[in-house]
């Protein structure tokens, strides 16, 4: 399976340059090596039984793009913060993302057998272990942030921000709408659901990066506005890939939304309109970055996410 970052002209004048590609790889490498360190620690401390620990790390290391950690680390960097101090929080966010994917794949949710080109967690370890591995990742994430080197007050803000974004008014709330078969899915409700289900963790990533750097209110607001637009574009792109993507690159079968009777942006408005909306939202997201200096990488990353093929 070829899953490489390509250097390409994506839209108007934006190019995912070799420099940005290398920076993204560097952020992913930092995240992966910190995750390895945290894994050693969790094994040493004997958090829970071996198979659960294995299931947690199986899913965490299954080949995710590490977009959320990259956003957190980069927002922290461009706001003048200490990236090393926010690195554990970036890993914690990736753990929460992984928990959501493990639970989303369970038979009681989307019932997906493949994730990132590998058997999903419950296929590899069984349903009970997968459920518990997800629960354990969620809780480990808050433990990691609490024990990190950020100032105590910052940690409280980070935890409060994150728990809101994960909870019933955030990602989980979005999943509740997604799994409520008795609601009529309008375009407005779909956007609300996308903002919660997909946008919340991206928003947490961008805002926590700023919070860790003590950024001012204007920057926080811009980071939030950026993430809201990005979240919608990201999910619409996910819908597009589910219709027109390459199964080998995606690491999962396409057409699952249609098969499960899900309303998506594509099913409501068609492929062409979806592409246009994703592009418009991407441009709007990028314009929010003008409130930050040294924003070239983030602009290119935003474009890359629109052009991605997995």
Contacts with ligand GRG by CB under 6 A lie at 64-65, 67, 97, 100-101, 103-104, 109, 116, 171-172, 175, 197-198, 235, 238
**Pick 129 or 150: Cβ nearer ligand GRG:** 129
DSSP letter string, 194-237 = HIIIIIHHHHHHHHHHHHHTT--HHHHHHHHHHHHHHHHHHHHH
Smallest separation (angstroms) from ligand GRG to the CB of 214: 27
Smallest separation (angstroms) from ligand GRG to the CB of 13: 25
Eight-class DSSP state of 157: H
Burial of residue 152 (CB within 10 Å: 0-12, 13-18, 19+) is: exposed
Give CA–CA dist 36/118, Å, rounded.
20
Specify whether the CB–CB gap between 58 and 110 falls below 8 A: no
Smallest separation (angstroms) from ligand GRG to the CB of 104: 3
Smallest separation (angstroms) from ligand GRG to the CB of 225: 19
**Pick 132 or 171: Cβ nearer ligand GRG:** 171
Reduce the DSSP state of residue 86 to 3 states and report it.
helix
- Residue in 94, 98, 91 with CA at minimum distance from that of residue 56: 98
Give CA–CA dist 69/24, Å, rounded.
10
CA 94 to chain centre: 7
Give CA–CA dist 304/310, Å, rounded.
11
Smallest separation (angstroms) from ligand GRG to the CB of 63: 7
**Pick 103 or 207: Cβ nearer ligand GRG:** 103
**Pick 199 or 219: Cβ nearer ligand GRG:** 199
Eight-class DSSP state of 9: E
Smallest separation (angstroms) from ligand GRG to the CB of 289: 19
**Pick 157 or 256: Cβ nearer ligand GRG:** 256
Which residue in the block uniquely carries the two structure tokens 């309008």? 186
**Pick 237 or 299: Cβ nearer ligand GRG:** 237
Closest-by-Cβ residue to ligand GRG is 64
Reduce the DSSP state of residue 155 to 3 states and report it.
helix
CA 220 to chain centre: 19
Smallest separation (angstroms) from ligand GRG to the CB of 152: 28
**Pick 39 or 65: Cβ nearer ligand GRG:** 65
Residue 119 pairs in a beta bridge with 114
**Pick 73 or 150: Cβ nearer ligand GRG:** 73
Smallest separation (angstroms) from ligand GRG to the CB of 69: 10
């Amino acid at each position: 399976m070829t899953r490489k970052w390509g250097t390409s002209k994506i839209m108007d004048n934006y190019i995912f340059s070799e420099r940005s590609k290398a920076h993204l790889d560097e952020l992913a490498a930092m995240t992966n090596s910190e995750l390895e360190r945290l894994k050693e620690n969790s094994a040493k401390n004997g958090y829970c039984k071996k198979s659960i620990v294995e299931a947690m790390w199986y899913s965490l290391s299954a080949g995710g793009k590490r977009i959320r950690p990259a956003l957190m680390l980069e927002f922290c960097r461009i706001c003048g913060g200490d990236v090393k101090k926010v690195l554990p929080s970036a890993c914690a966010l990736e753990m929460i993302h992984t928990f959501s994917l493990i639970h989303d794949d369970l038979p009681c949710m989307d019932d997906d057998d493949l994730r990132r080109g590998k058997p999903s967690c419950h296929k590899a370890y069984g349903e009970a272990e997968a459920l518990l591995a997800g629960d354990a990742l969620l809780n480990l994430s808050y433990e990691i942030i609490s024990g990190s080197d950020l100032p105590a007050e910052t940690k409280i803000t980070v935890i409060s921000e994150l728990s809101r974004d994960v909870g019933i008014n955030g990602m989980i709330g979005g999943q509740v709408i997604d799994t409520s078969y008795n609601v009529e899915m309008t375009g407005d409700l779909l956007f609300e659901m996308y903002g919660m289900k997909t946008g919340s963790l991206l928003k947490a990533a961008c805002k926590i990066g700023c919070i860790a750097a003590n950024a001012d209110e204007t920057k926080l607001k811009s980071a939030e506005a950026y993430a809201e637009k990005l979240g919608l574009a990201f999910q619409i792109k996910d819908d597009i890939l589910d219709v027109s993507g390459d199964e080998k690159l995606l690491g999962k079968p396409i057409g699952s939304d249609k098969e499960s009777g899900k309303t998506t942006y594509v099913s409501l408005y068609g492929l062409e309109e979806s592409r246009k909306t994703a592009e418009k939202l991407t441009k709007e997201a990028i314009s929010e970055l003008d409130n930050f200096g040294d924003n070239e990488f983030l602009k290119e990353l935003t474009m890359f996410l629109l052009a991605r093929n997995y």
